[in-house]
Structure 1
Amino acid sequence: MTIWKKTMMAAGLLGVAVSLAACGKGSLASGGKSSDTLNVVFLPSDSAKEETAARKALTTEIHKATGKKVNVQTTTDYNVAIQSIASGKAQIALMGPDGYIQAHKQSHNVQPILTYSGKSGTLKDAYYHSYIMVPKAQAAKYKVNGKYSLKNIKGKRMSFVSNTSTSGFSIPAGAIKKAFNLKSTDDLAQSGKFFSKVMYGQSHQGSAVNLLKGDADVAAFDDMDLTQYGKFQNDSTKAGAIFKINQNAPAPFNSVRGKSSVAIAAYAVQNEPLVVNKSKISDKDTNKIIKQLTSKSVTNNHLFFAPENAKVRGLFTKDGNTKFVAISDKWYQPTHKILGE
C-alpha cells in the first residue's frame, strides 16, 4: 500500500462504487465494543486480487488475537474507506497517512496503533516514496538545464490516484502547488484548469497503468504498491529513478509489461498505519491485536512482509528488519502539521 497539502474530500459518497469481500457471512456490521464481529476496511491499493492472501493473513491474526469473527471490506474508492472507519462501520483499517488524517478529522476516535518499520526495524526510516512520473521515452522533455523539473507539466494529461490519497495526490499536488506558486490545489484536481485533463486511477496501480498505456502524460503513484509488479533500475529515492514493469507482471500490468517510467520528482512519505475506531473496539482487544501483530511469527510471515521476488504478494515488501511497530497519533504530528489538520 499524502503529506504536502490539505486534501479535499469528494462531495458526498452517494453513488460511489464499493466492492465487498467478506471473510465469512454478511456485510459490514455496525460494530460496538461488545460486538462479536470486527470489520477491517482496506484502501483500493490494498484491495487488489493479488493481495487476497495477505488480507486473509491479517484477518486471521486479528481473529487469533481477539477470538472474534473478522470480515473484510475491500473498496474501489478512498472516500468509502475513510467514511467507513470514521463512522465505525469498520472498526479497523489499513490506511495511508493522509487517509488516516482525514478519518481522524471526522472522528478523533480513529487512532493509529501500528505502522511498519523501515529496514532498521525502527521508526527512523519508516517511510516510502511518492513520485511524479513520466514515460521513459518522454523523460528528456521534462529537463531544465540538465535536471528534471516540474516546469513542463502544465497543460499535460495528469493521472492521480485519488484526491484523498497521501502519496497519490496530496504530496505531489502540494509539490506542484509550491513549484507554481498556486493559491491552492483545487485547480490541479480538475480537467481544463492547470492540466488539460485530470484522471484518477483509484489505486496506485491504476494510476501507473494510465501512464504506461499512454492515457496520461504524467502520473503520481508510490513505490510501495508497485514494487511487486516491477523493479527500480537505479536509485529510487530521487528524481531520475527508473521503474520498469516485470515481463511477467499480472493484471493490471499485463498489457504494459516491460515498459518503463522515470521520476521527475520524488518525495518521502511516512509509512501507513493500521488504525482502529476506539469507540467500536475495546482497549483490551486493541492491545491483543498489537501484541499479535508485533510477534515474531507475523514478522517472519511472507504474507505480511514479502521478499521482493515473492510469487505471492504480501501486505508490504520485506526490507532488512521490516516489522510492525506500535505507534500513537503523536508519531504522525509531522503529517498533521504539513496537512494543516
Structure 2
Amino acid sequence: MHWKRALLWISAFAWLLTAIGCGKEAEPFKVGVIPAQNEGNMKQAMERLEERLAEGLEKPVEIKIYSDYQGVVEALKYKKMDMAFLGPLTFVQARETTGVHAVVTQLIDGKPYYHSYLIVPKESGLDSIEEVAENSKKIRFAFGDPNSTSGSLIPGMALKKQGVFENEQEHDFKGITYTGSHDVTALSIQNGKYDVGAIDSAIFNQLVESGKVDKDKVRVIWKSEPLFQYPWAVRKDVDGPTVNKLRKTFLSIKDPKILNVFGASGFTQAENSDYESIRRAAKEAGRLEIE
C-alpha cells in the first residue's frame, strides 16, 4: 500500500504546484521604442499598441519609451527587453552584439523604403551635394542623432565620398552639429540656424504635411538610394510561435492613432537580409563592433 500512498502524495504536490502557478501573473512581453521625433503623442499611441499586442500574444505587454539608442541595445543585451523598435543602423549594430532578428517594419505610402535627404533654406544658393562639398568651408552642417541611419550614417558616407567629411573632428565644414532628432534638424534649417541638414525623408514629409515645417521655406537638394524602413526586432531567443503572433498582429493593425505616430500606412514583414546594405555602410564607416 506504500506505493498508493506515494501516488497520493505526488498527486497532491502536483496539484499544489499547479495552484501556485495559476495564481501568478504571466511575465509581460517587454518592448522598447526610441521615438524618431520628439515624443508628442507617442504615449497614447503606445498604450493602444500595448493593447493590440497583448491581444495577439495572449499575455501582458509593456512598452517603454527610451530616450537614446544605447539604452535599448543594453536592455536587449541583458534580456531586460524582448522586442525593440530600432533605427536601421542601431539594428545592424545590435545584431552584431546580441543576435536580434527583424520581424516587421512600417510601410510609408505603401512602401517599406525611405531616403536620407539633405535640406536647405528655400533661399539657399545650394542645389546639390556637389555644391555642398565645393562650398563646405562656408557651411554650417547639421546631422541628427549620431546613431541615426538617415541623419548621420548615410549622409556622412556620401560626404566622405565628396572628400569633405570623415567624422565630427575631421571635416572641411565651417561647423558640424548633431541636433539629436529629425524634427529639430528640420526646424533649425527652416529658421536659418544651419545651412544644410540631413534628415529622414519620411519624417520630413510628415512634418511638411502636418504643417510643422513650411514647405515654402525649406528645399530638398539631395536624396540617397532607398533604405529599408526601421525594423521591429526581437531577441534571438524569442520562440517561433511568438514571432508569428507578433507578425500577424502588426500586419493587422489599421488604427490611425498607432500608424500616424510612425507616419505609417501599415506594417509589413521584415527580414535580417533587408538591412544588408546598411550593415555594409556601417562596416565601411567603422560603426560595427565585429566580434
TM-score band w.r.t. shorter chain: 0.7 to 0.9
Q: Answer yes or no: is 1:292 the counterpart of 2:266.
A: no
Change (3 A) 1:317 1:64: same
Q: Answer yes or no: is 1:180 the counterpart of 2:163.
A: yes
Matches within 5 A, 1:161-240: 161-180=144-163, 185-186=166-167, 189-190=168-169, 193-231=171-209
What residue ranges of structure 2 are gaps of 5+ in the alignment?
1-24
How far, CA to CA, are the matches of 1:260 and 1:137 in structure 2?
8
Change (3 A) 1:216 1:79: farther
State the partner residue of 1:36: 27
Paired residues of 1:155 and 1:194 also in contact (CA < 8 A): no
Matches within 5 A, 1:238-249: 246=211, 249=212
Q: Answer yes or no: is 1:335 the counterpart of 2:289.
A: no
State the partner residue of 2:6: none
Amino acid at match of 2:248: K
How far residue 51 of structure 1 moved from its aligned partner, in angstroms, is 2.8
State the partner residue of 1:93: 84
How far, CA to CA, are the matches of 1:327 and 1:292 in structure 2?
14
How far residue 143 of structure 1 moved from its aligned partner, in angstroms, is 4.0
Per the alignment, in what secondary structure is the counterpart of residue 135 of structure 2?
helix
State the partner residue of 1:315: 262
State the partner residue of 2:115: 129
State the partner residue of 1:303: 257
Paired residues of 1:136 and 1:261 also in contact (CA < 8 A): yes
More off after superposition, 93-102 vs 53-62: 53-62
How far, CA to CA, are the matches of 1:95 and 1:155 in structure 2?
34
More off after superposition, 77-86 vs 89-98: 77-86
Paired residues of 1:42 and 1:73 also in contact (CA < 8 A): yes
How far, CA to CA, are the matches of 2:105 and 2:67 in structure 1?
23
Task: Please give the per-residue CA displacement for 1:142-197, whole angstroms capped at 9, x wherever unaligned.
Answer: 247xx865432345222111111011100100000011176xx32xx24x843333
How far residue 275 of structure 1 moved from its aligned partner, in angstroms, is 0.6
State the partner residue of 2:239: 282
TM-score under structure 2 length normalisation: 0.78
How far, CA to CA, are the matches of 1:217 and 1:272 in structure 2?
27
State the partner residue of 1:269: 227
Matches within 5 A, 1:57-72: 57-72=48-63
State the partner residue of 1:111: 101
How far, CA to CA, are the matches of 2:248 and 2:88 in structure 1?
22
The structure with more helix, counted as a fraction of residues? 2
Q: How many residues align?
A: 258
Change (3 A) 1:79 1:152: farther
Identity percentage of aligned residues: 23
State the partner residue of 1:5: none
Change (3 A) 1:86 1:132: farther
TM-score under structure 1 length normalisation: 0.67
How far, CA to CA, are the matches of 2:69 and 2:132 in structure 1?
29
What residue ranges of structure 1 are gaps of 5+ in the alignment?
1-33, 232-244, 306-312
How far residue 69 of structure 1 moved from its aligned partner, in angstroms, is 2.6
CA RMSD in angstroms comes to 2.7
State the partner residue of 1:3: none
